[in-house]
A = this chain, B = another copy of it.
Amino acid sequence: MLAVRSRPLSRRVTPLVTLSIIAAMFPLSLFAQATASTSQPAGWVKEFGTMWTFDAPPLAYWKARYGFTPDQAWLDHVRLSSIRIPGCSASFVSSAGLVMTNHHCGRDCTAGASPRDSNYVETGFAAASLGDEKKCANMFADQLQSITNVTDRIRKAVTATTPAKQVEQRNAEIDRIQKECAQQPTEVCEVVTFYQGGMYSLYKYRHWTDVRLVMAPEEGIAFYGGDPDNFTYPRYDLDLTLLRVYENGQPLSPHDFLKWSANGAAENDVVFVTGNPGSTGRLLTVAQMEYLRDVDYPARLAGYDRLLRIWHALAAASPEAARTYQNNIFSYENSKKAVTGYRAGLLDSAIMAKKRAFERDFRKRVEADPALRAKYGAAWDEIARAEKEMASFARNLQWQSFGGGSNLLNIAGGIVRLPSQGALPDSARLPQYRGAGLDRIRQQIATIPVDTAFERRALAATFAAWKEALPATDPALVLALKAGGGDPDRAAAAIIAKTTLADPAARRALIDGGASAVAKSTDPLIAIARTIEPVNRRLAERAAKLDAVISSNAEKIGQAIFAAYGTSLPPDATFTLRITDGLVEGYPMNGTVAPYKTTMFGLYERASDFDNKPPFQLPDRWAKGRDRLDLSTPMDFVSTNDIIGGNSGSPVINRNAEVVGLIFDGNIESLPNRFIFTDEVARSVSVSSRAIVEALRKLYRADRIADELTGGR
């Protein structure tokens, strides 16, 4: 799945802070070859991928590689046919405002539009007429109108000399630019930071909020193969939702929409994908990647496993329990698979060698100029030093904390911490307690519901982890285990039995009682939290300082790279519109070759291979309708386009800007692309346009919609 996930991938996100006015002054002559033309293939480093912005299309590269020379009208048409919806991408696919996106992108709409006694997510839905189309709550569609480079304006607004003041000035100017731009409720404006501050652009969107559900197949076919097949290929999914944008209660008639290809995608076709990739880390240094590989990701994966063990145990109790925990299990299995894939790339010595080579080269160029060396030469080593120090106490930071999965322990930590943080001036607080953070935390702590069965197990797992990670004399560990005679399980049970924090009223009383109430409390979790709090605060403050070092140096590196390469290297993903080029191509897989496409035969193959057991069970409509289908119809296909979470629902188009497919996933080999782009075996996975029409006509009795897509063909 490629929607942008709410859980952030990394503890440290791309910084949006400070800027050094370096890019403009950077001596370009040093990189003459690389920057001779920003759209020459020569200036492109493949590992940075192909997520091009619409204001810097690599025309010379496309011409050299594919003999493809789109004019500005082609680019404008494609841009205006593309749509951003919450967390996903989409496109106009008819003159009457029909919008194509993924099933998982329209899921909330589909569920919300369901009648009381049924669920369209399970049963599928196809509106028989315009009047039957269902309004979606909280859905919108944004169409990118214009991109304006505002780098100079922002740089000029920043006149202060202290970093804090610089941030303030910059944010204020961004606010001003956005407000000036968005004059109407139908306009949305965002200033986007590229290259970690190397470039700022104003993105202006046309914004629609009347979006209606036209058609969604059963989740059983949209997400066929479920969790096992997620992130893999060969695949047999019809991951589709069709929506329609309305304006003034009538279907919108967009000037630009993508026409339907008569033949779909053929092997070796050049194809383009437009959409909003969410986040990549291709500008990270080797040291940052190594930290992720060796410290951050292993801890994260262990955490997923810890929680998955708990949910699996709870789910095993009854079918009802299985339903309750199914979403948690799926979500964490999904994250585990993704992070395992990201880490696999960082563990791949061939992939890392490319990254090292780039960094070595680039640093050499910086080192060769004394002025540059003085300014930026230290940045990589500064980051490496900070990462190394961070690693030295990462285990303590992780476990001398309120973390580990128990919400109750986390709540206890918040209750203990709130009075002291509240007493500090804003700038002296821990980052998450600054500004509106304090009130938000107080509100969450007071209201969050608690699942006691889960809490007991989560607490036991946390105590067991403490026992392994911390010295036997650690005061919090001693206090925790005392409750269970040294045994984590018994300790957790005893503490859960005694604590009152499951009751929101008890929490509120402690919050309202402030520091003295906390100090006097005999609640066992509060007692443990009191012991942890000062230790954890010192560790968190140390980590925050190191994060700042890393952020400011990462910024320098990002800006230096941008100054050197300009837009010939596409910027890291920012959940804004990009266009990526690629080829429809199979790849070597597991000793043999994966085909460029699958067909409907394969859907029935996989179902019968697994004796039609979930998640390989066919929806009834598909099981019964088999003989109506031409089973040789292409179902899904793969291409070398550069996509990531946020690209869900992106159209795949040919040279004529006709729809041949619908992006819905990447193969497992594409996960390392988060950091270093490769296309030897990494592939994007799309629904074939032909499968969409075949299914609409033969199974969903939806000729009305199929005709609208194909122009009646």
A residues lining the B interface (CB < 8 Å): 225, 228-229, 231-232, 234, 267, 337, 341, 589-593, 595-599, 601-602, 604-606, 608-611, 631-632, 667-668
Is A610's CB under 8 angstroms from B595's CB? yes
Output the least CB separation between A261 and chain B (Å). Answer: 17
Among residues of B, the one whose C-beta sits closest to the C-beta of A633 is: B608
Residues of chain B with a CB closer than 8 A to A610's CB: 595
Output the least CB separation between A374 and chain B (Å). Answer: 44
Output the least CB separation between A611 and chain B (Å). Answer: 7
Known contacts A228-B593, A232-B592, A601-B602; 8 additional CB pairs below 8 A are A232-B590, A337-B591, A590-B590, A591-B667, A591-B668, A595-B609, A599-B605, A604-B631
Name the one of B592, B597, B606 contacting A229, with C-beta atoms under 8 angstroms: B592
Which 9 A-B pairs give the minimum distances between C-beta atoms? A591-B668, A595-B609, A601-B605, A602-B605, A599-B608, A232-B591, A232-B592, A608-B632, A228-B592
Output the least CB separation between A248 and chain B (Å). Answer: 46
Residues of chain B with a CB closer than 8 A to A602's CB: 601-602, 605, 609
Name the one of B234, B604, B668 contacting A601, with C-beta atoms under 8 angstroms: B604
Is A668's CB under 8 angstroms from B608's CB? no
Copies in the complex: 2
A595 to B608, CA, bound (A): 10
Question: 14 A-B Cβ contacts within 8 A?
Answer: A225-B592, A231-B591, A232-B591, A232-B592, A590-B590, A590-B668, A595-B609, A599-B605, A601-B602, A602-B602, A602-B609, A604-B632, A605-B605, A608-B631
A596 to B606, CA, bound (A): 11
Residues of chain B with a CB closer than 8 A to A599's CB: 605, 608-609
Residues of chain B with a CB closer than 8 A to A595's CB: 606, 609-610
A590 to B231, CA, bound (A): 10
Residues of chain B with a CB closer than 8 A to A337's CB: 591
Among residues of B, the one whose C-beta sits closest to the C-beta of A267 is: B611
Is B592's CB under 8 angstroms from A609's CB? no
Among residues of B, the one whose C-beta sits closest to the C-beta of A227 is: B592
A598 to B607, CA, bound (A): 10
Residues of chain B with a CB closer than 8 A to A604's CB: 601, 631-632
Is A609's CB under 8 angstroms from B597's CB? yes
Is B590's CB under 8 angstroms from A589's CB? yes
A267 to B668, CA, bound (A): 26
A489 to B595, CA, bound (A): 38
Among residues of B, the one whose C-beta sits closest to the C-beta of A235 is: B592
Is A605's CB under 8 angstroms from B598's CB? yes
Output the least CB separation between A315 and chain B (Å). Answer: 19
Output the least CB separation between A228 and chain B (Å). Answer: 4
Name the one of B225, B234, B601, B611 contacting A608, with C-beta atoms under 8 angstroms: B601
Output the least CB separation between A172 and chain B (Å). Answer: 47
Residues of chain B with a CB closer than 8 A to A668's CB: 590-592
Among residues of B, the one whose C-beta sits closest to the C-beta of A266 is: B611
Residues of chain B with a CB closer than 8 A to A631's CB: 604, 608
Among residues of B, the one whose C-beta sits closest to the C-beta of A598 is: B609
Residues of chain B with a CB closer than 8 A to A591's CB: 231-232, 337, 341, 667-668
Residues of chain B with a CB closer than 8 A to A598's CB: 605, 609
Residues of chain B with a CB closer than 8 A to A593's CB: 228
Output the least CB separation between A661 and chain B (Å). Answer: 15
A606 to B599, CA, bound (A): 8
A80 to B675, CA, bound (A): 60
Residues of chain B with a CB closer than 8 A to A608's CB: 599, 601, 631-632
Residues of chain B with a CB closer than 8 A to A589's CB: 590
A252 to B593, CA, bound (A): 44
Among A225, A592, A631, chain B packs the most CB atoms within 10 A around the CB of A592
Residues of chain B with a CB closer than 8 A to A232's CB: 590-592
A605 to B605, CA, bound (A): 8
Output the least CB separation between A618 and chain B (Å). Answer: 12
Among residues of B, the one whose C-beta sits closest to the C-beta of A604 is: B601
Among A232, A337, A593, A605, chain B packs the most CB atoms within 10 A around the CB of A605
Among A591, A606, A610, chain B packs the most CB atoms within 10 A around the CB of A591
Among residues of B, the one whose C-beta sits closest to the C-beta of A631 is: B604
Residues of chain B with a CB closer than 8 A to A231's CB: 591
Among residues of B, the one whose C-beta sits closest to the C-beta of A225 is: B592
A575 to B532, CA, bound (A): 66
Output the least CB separation between A619 and chain B (Å). Answer: 17
A590 to B590, CA, bound (A): 7
A225 to B610, CA, bound (A): 22
Residues of chain B with a CB closer than 8 A to A605's CB: 598-599, 601-602, 605
A597 to B616, CA, bound (A): 14
